[in-house]
Amino acid sequence: MSAILTGIIPVAPTIFHDDESLDLDGQRRVVDFLVDSKVDALCILANYSEQFSLEDDERRRVIDATLEQAAGRVPVMVTTSHYSARVAARRTREAAEAGARLAMLMPPFFGATMSVGEDLVLDYFATVAEQSAIDIMVQDAPLSTTPLSVALLARLATEIPQVKYVKVEVPRAAAKIRALRTIAGADLPGVFDGEEGVTLIPDLHAGAIGTMASCTIPDVLGEVVRRFGSGDIDGATRAWNAVLPLIHFENRQCGLQAAKALLKEGGVIASDRVRAPLAPLPASTRAELLALADRARASVLGWAR
């Protein structure tokens, strides 16, 4: 079994040209930026990667380009969520065959009304696990209408050995993380938070071992987790507080467009295009984001210069 990952696992955006076609050269440059940022792994094809706007063939091309560019320098996580257990299992198997270290999936849901009961959630993840040997992260996100109780997450980890990770990004994340650490214990060692790290310090106090944020400040958040883990709680808290205005603005005012805007501003990518019907950031929002990033001395702004 692979060692449990800790630290920072940023979500890499899917890079497009201005005409919304894939920019795989830009995708590769994002990988290099993240490796230079000393990330512990990277994640592709997540919601923040606009996975919902990609065709299956485009998914495969992004996976291949990312794994080829990573070249074993960092582990790669592939998001393989789909309502269909059959499709999710195939996606996970293909990701494993391509070289992914682990897969992340939300529980099955569709729209605002189609959710799935607990036993069917268990069956879903069991089906995925049967077709691949890689570890699985369950994504506990507010986007899903299928609830994941602490008891269900603990049951998934107990009954499906490949479920070793969970990403908790729901309101009151710290309380849920603390309960998971108590109830699931060693069966679920890889507890991460999300939401750009906006509640990272409370979540680390609760027992999280890492964070899944965007590409905005991966080096800083990685250092926060490492300092906290080494016992330098005050230093970790100071480092987090210093960038919290930027994190909060990204989380509450920008969304997934923020990382692309900063990657473009720093010359990592040529276009910050998002696929319609998503829209670019308003000029005023973008200006505020850049000012906060400059104030935080975000390395993304200088990496390519």
Longest dimension (CA), the chain: 52
What is the chain's length?
Answer: 305
The predicted-structure confidence for 57-89, as pLDDT tens digits, reads as follows 999 999 999 999 999 999 999 999 999 999 999
Assess whether pLDDT exceeds 60 at residue 296. yes
Question: What does the pLDDT read at residue 119?
Answer: 94
The predicted-structure confidence for 30-59, as pLDDT tens digits, reads as follows: 999 999 999 999 999 999 999 999 999 999
**What confidence category does residue 246 fall into, taking pLDDT thresholds of 50, 70 and 90?**
very high
In a domain, residue 299? The reply is no
Closest by CA position to 191, among listed 170, 206, 213: 206
pLDDT of 2: 79
Classify 31 in phi/psi space as left (phi over 0), alpha (psi -120 to 50) or beta. alpha
User: What distance in Å separates the CA atoms of residue 192 and residue 43, rounded to the nearest whole number?
Assistant: 13
Catalytic pick from 167, 176, 260, 264?
167
Q: Which residue has the tokens 């993840």?
A: 125
**Any domain includes 239:** no
Kindly state the percentage of the chain with pLDDT values over 70: 100
250-293, pLDDT tens digit by residue? Answer: 999 999 999 999 999 999 999 999 999 999 999 999 999 999 99
* pLDDT for 162 beyond 60: yes
Structural domain includes residue 272? no
Tell me whether residue 98 is exposed, middle or buried, using C-beta atoms within 10 angstroms of its C-beta: 0 to 12, 13 to 18, 19 or more.
middle
Give the domain extent around 59.
Answer: 7-230
286 belongs to a structural domain: no
Whole-number pLDDT of residue 1: 57
pTM: 0.96
Residue 304 pLDDT level (bands cut at 50, 70, 90): confident
Asked if residue 39 belongs to a domain, the reply is yes
In a domain, 164, yes or no: yes
Residue 109 lies in a domain: yes
Residue with tokens 């479920």: 163
Tell me how many domains the chain contains: 1
Read out DSSP for 77-92? EEE---SSHHHHHHHH
299 and 219 in contact (C-beta within 8 Å)?
yes
In a domain? residue 146: yes
Cα–Cα distance between 234 and 125 in angstroms, integer? 39
Predicted confidence (pLDDT) at residue 164 exceeds the cutoff of 90: yes
Q: Residue 115: its pLDDT value, please?
A: 84
Across the chain, mean pLDDT equals 96
Among this protein's residues, is 167 annotated catalytic?
Answer: yes
CB atoms within 10 A of CB 101: 18
pLDDT given at position 248: 97
CATH number assigned to the domain comprising residue 25? 3.20.20.70
- Helical (H) or strand (E) element with 97: helix 85-98
Select from 38, 66, 26 the least CA-distant residue to 267.
26
pLDDT for the residue numbered 143: 83
Tokens of 163: 């479920």
Confidence of residue 111 (pLDDT cuts 50, 70, 90): confident
